[in-house]
Structure 1
Amino acid sequence: MRTEPKAGRWDWLFHRLDREPQRPTHIDVPRMTRHRAALFGATLAFYLAIVWLVVTTSWLVRLDWQVMFFRPYQQWSHIHAFVDYYVVLGQRGPTAVMVAAWLGWRSWRQHTLRPLLTLGASLLLLNLTVGAAKIGMGRLGPHYATVIGSNEMGMGGDIFPSGHTANAVVTWGILAYLASTPRARRWLSALSAVVALGVGMSTVYLGTHWLSDVLLGWAAGLLILLALPWAEPPIARAEAWILDLRDRRRARTTGTVPAPAAPVTAPVRLKPRPAATAQDETAAAARDTLTAARAARAPAFLAPGPHTARSERTPVTPAGSRRPPHPERLPRSTATRPLTNGG
Structure 2
Amino acid sequence: MRTNDELVPAEERPTEPVRPRMTRTRIGILLATSVVYLAIVVGVLTTSWPVRFDWQVMLFRPYKQWPEIHTFLDYFVVLGQRGPTAVAVAAWLGWRTYKLRTLRPLLVLGTSLLLLNATVGAAKIGMGRLGPHYATAIGSNEMFAGGDIFPSGHTANAVVTWGVLAYLATTPRARRIASVSAALLALGVGMTTVYLGTHWMSDVTLGWTAGLLVLLVLPWFEAPMARAEELLLALWRRIRERRAVPAVPVTPLAIGAPRPAADGRRPVREPAGVGGRTARLPEGRPHLSAPRPRSERTPLTPTGSRRPPVPERVPRGAPLAPATGRGRTAGT
| TM-score, L = length of structure 1 | 0.67
Q: Which residue of the other structure, out of 48, 54, 59, is the alignment partner of 2:49?
A: 59
CA contact (8 A) 1:169 1:218 kept: yes
Q: Which residue of the other structure, out of 22, 29, 33, is the alignment partner of 1:43?
A: 33
CA contact (8 A) 2:15 2:170 kept: no
Letter in 2 for 1:87: V
1:262-308 per-residue CA deviation (whole Å, 9 max, x = no partner) reads xxxxxxxxxxxxxxxxxxxxxxxxxxxxxxxxxxxxxxxxxxxxxxx
Q: Distance in 2 between matches of 1:124 and 1:28?
A: 22
CA contact (8 A) 2:63 2:197 kept: yes
Q: Which residue of the other structure, out of 219, 223, 231, is the alignment partner of 1:233?
A: 223
Larger C-alpha radius of gyration, 1 or 2? 2
Gaps in structure 1 of 5+ consecutive residues:
1-20, 257-343
Deviation at 1:204, TM superposition (A): 0.1
Q: Which residue does the alignment assign to 2:210?
A: 220
Q: Aligned-residue CA RMSD in angstroms?
A: 1.5
CA contact (8 A) 1:64 1:210 kept: yes
Percent of residue pairs identical: 71
Deviation at 1:249, TM superposition (A): 1.3
* 1:242 maps onto 2:255 in alignment: no
Q: Which residue of the other structure, out of 119, 138, 146, is the alignment partner of 2:128?
A: 138
Letter in 1 for 2:231: W
The 5-angstrom pairing of residues 137-216 of structure 1 reads 137-216=127-206
CA contact (8 A) 2:15 2:171 kept: no
Letter in 1 for 2:156: A
1:2-39 per-residue CA deviation (whole Å, 9 max, x = no partner) reads xxxxxxxxxxxxxxxxxxx9xx7622111111111111
Q: Distance in 2 between matches of 1:182 and 1:230?
A: 22
Deviation at 1:254, TM superposition (A): 2.4
Letter in 2 for 1:42: A
Deviation at 1:245, TM superposition (A): 0.3
1:102-160 per-residue CA deviation (whole Å, 9 max, x = no partner) reads 00000011111000010000000000000000000000000000011000000000000
1:152-186 per-residue CA deviation (whole Å, 9 max, x = no partner) reads 00000000000000000000000000001111111
* 1:128 maps onto 2:100 in alignment: no
The 5-angstrom pairing of residues 324-339 of structure 1 reads none
Gaps in structure 2 of 5+ consecutive residues:
1-12, 247-332
CA contact (8 A) 1:72 1:206 kept: yes
Q: Distance in 2 between matches of 1:66 and 1:254?
A: 68
Q: Which residue does the alignment assign to 2:65?
A: 75
Q: Which residue does the alignment assign to 2:261?
A: none
1:297-324 per-residue CA deviation (whole Å, 9 max, x = no partner) reads xxxxxxxxxxxxxxxxxxxxxxxxxxxx
Deviation at 1:253, TM superposition (A): 2.2
Higher helix share: 1
CA contact (8 A) 1:27 1:181 kept: no
Q: Distance in 2 between matches of 1:218 and 1:89?
A: 15
Q: Which residue does the alignment assign to 1:103?
A: 93
CA contact (8 A) 1:165 1:214 kept: yes
Deviation at 1:250, TM superposition (A): 1.4
Letter in 2 for 1:238: A
CA contact (8 A) 1:65 1:148 kept: yes
Q: Which residue does the alignment assign to 1:253?
A: 243
Letter in 2 for 1:245: L
Q: Which residue does the alignment assign to 1:112?
A: 102
Letter in 1 for 2:135: A
Structure 1 segments (4+ residues) deviating >4 Å: none
Q: Distance in 2 between matches of 1:234 and 1:206?
A: 40
Letter in 2 for 1:141: G
* 1:34 maps onto 2:53 in alignment: no
Q: Distance in 2 between matches of 1:255 and 1:83?
A: 56
